[in-house]
Amino acid sequence: MSSLFPALTDSPAERPALRFGERSLTYAELAATAGALAGRIRGAGRVAVWATPTLETAVGVVAALLAGVPAVPLNPKSGDSELGHILRDSEPALVLTAPDSELPAALGDLERVEVDVRDTAQSPVSDVADLARITADSPALVVYTSGTTGPPKGAVIPRRAIAATLDALADAWQWTGDDVLVHALPLFHVHGLILGILGPLRRGGSVRHLGRFTAEGVTQELNEGATMLFGVPTMYHRLAEALPDDPALSKALGRARLLVSGSAALPVHDHERIAAATGRRVIERYGMTETLMNTSVRADGEPRAGTVGVPLPGVELRLVEEDGSAITAYDGESVGEIQVRGPNLFTEYLNRPDATAAAFTGDGWFRTGDMAVRDADGYVRIVGRKATDLIKSGGYKIGAGEIENALLEHPAVREAAVTGEPDDDLGERVVAWIVPADPESPPGAGELADHVAGRLAPHKRPRVVHFLDALPRNDMGKIMKRALKHD
């Protein structure tokens, strides 16, 4: 297939591509360093990437894509149990890492390949990739995503899906090589990595990563030429909170060409506060690890708070009733599950043919599990989710089941149930309901949070812990989560 990043060879050499803090690479430097690394890893089955928010991660992923080797981005804060699962499941041949990263013991057996961003003595990029072997359907990335039960599943994302979604967003957002993106998203998920790094590189534009999200960082970059901001709703909520006392932030946001939110719903109150203080309306887009991007408010469309806009070019979207029949009404009130079809879709869950089969209808529609209505003009409004056991916290998807399993491995826990509760900052927060093994000496809430953070990842830790004598169960013995309400 044609190159995912034509700008690597076509751009003026000095054009800026990536900037992380003080360190940056031009297109010529990126082409050379990623080309050199691609030559080294060529032919590997799959490569893990220790996905710290650094230049090395971006170069590592670009190199893997140039070499036609699927990359598995790893959350550098993954706990032992989650990391162990991902490594057993994806069987990478080696791990790409920044030279100064200390890797956990779980990665000890893997060959460590350090990304040297100054290694620029390489022949042209086109010498490296074996383009005849790489097709549009070749896997590009394996991104792990939580389900309701069990450990995370690896969504295999083909090269075609990346190209299709980024080109559709370019159309919807009038996104060009002149745009400079600023963000602080993690680089082991679709939002930060595919949209936030690969997106600008496909356009021939540039990205500045803040390393860590702060209002000051956003202000500075927007004042110094950044044109677009990507963030999860928690980030926009924090900006909305900061705006009343920060006129420089209002001015900077007002200067942006496009403020884009995604990964979870941005509350209307935050939309309104940002619009009132800056004169700019945040636009929302809706996607999923398995589908990349499905809908967006268009740059030339009407930004409407509470909606995720219209299907992107090439994406077929329908709303489906419980019995599988499609809803034809565009009435703003008939609720159905969003199902999508198009070149943006993943191929399969790695090693999980059962889960893959269950995710699609017989005729190839992907079941998102998101419930929505459609306005008369086609704007989609997400109104809920089919599974109550999926929690979105800070834009991260977290399965209740994986946290319950981790909690049950703690010796002081007899029974555990996990729910999501509304949270102004995080959207939802993880809440654990625990029956202690010894009611006289229950474990501390902080101890349980640390236990989950160490096994899975810090963002999956319970923020609130309740202790109960017994969990409410129905006649079948199933936990009645709806009865678990805090008063």
CB half-sphere exposure, 48, CA atoms < 13 A:
28
CB of 29 or CB of 270, closer to ligand MCA: 270
DSSP letters for 393-451: ETTEEEEHHHHHHHHHTSTTEEEEEEEEEEETTTEEEEEEEEEESSTTSPPPHHHHHHH
φ, ψ (nearest 5 deg) of residue 126: -65, -20
Residue 185 is a binding residue for ligand MCA (CB under 6 A):
yes
CB of 191 or CB of 273, closer to ligand MCA: 191
Grouping H, G, I as helix, E, B as strand and the rest as coil, residue 193 is helix
Asked if 78 contacts 186 with a C-beta cutoff of 8 angstroms, the reply is: no
CB under 5 to 8 A by kind: which of ligand AMP, ligand MCA, none does 380 bind? none
CB under 5 to 8 A by kind: which of ligand MCA, ligand AMP, none does 370 bind? ligand AMP
Number of residues in contact with ligand MCA under rule CB under 6 A: 25
Residues in CB range of 320: below 8 A, 6 or more apart: 326, 327, 336, 337, 339, 365
The piece of 34-42, 60-68, 245-253, 282-290 that touches ligand AMP (CB under 6 A) is: 282-290
Minimum distance between the CB of residue 184 and ligand MCA, rounded to whole angstroms?
7
CB of 5 or CB of 173, closer to ligand AMP: 173
The piece of 16-24, 127-135, 284-292, 369-377 that touches ligand MCA (CB under 6 A) is: 284-292
The piece of 129-137, 312-320, 405-413, 458-466 that touches ligand MCA (CB under 6 A) is: 458-466
Task: Quickly tell me which residue has 């705006």 as its tokens.
Answer: 243
Grouping H, G, I as helix, E, B as strand and the rest as coil, residue 26 is strand
Binding mask 61-100 for ligand AMP (x = CB under 6 A): ----------------------------------------
CB of 113 or CB of 185, closer to ligand MCA: 185
Among 238, 281, 397, 481, binds ligand AMP (CB under 6 A): 397
CB of 32 or CB of 430, closer to ligand AMP: 430
Residue 370 is a binding residue for ligand AMP (CB under 6 A):
yes
Grouping H, G, I as helix, E, B as strand and the rest as coil, residue 94 is strand
Sign of the C-alpha dihedral, residues 122, 126, 127, 131? Answer: positive
Task: Quickly tell me which residue has 């990349």 as its tokens.
Answer: 292
- Gap between the Cα atoms of 198 and 371, Å rounded: 29
CB under 5 to 8 A by kind: which of ligand AMP, ligand MCA, none does 385 bind? ligand AMP
Residues in CB range of 154: below 8 A, 6 or more apart: 72, 86, 89, 90, 142, 143, 144, 349, 350, 351, 352
Which stretches of the chain bind ligand MCA, using CB under 6 A?
A: 77, 185-186, 189-192, 213, 232, 234-235, 262-263, 287-289, 394-396, 449-450, 453, 458-459, 461
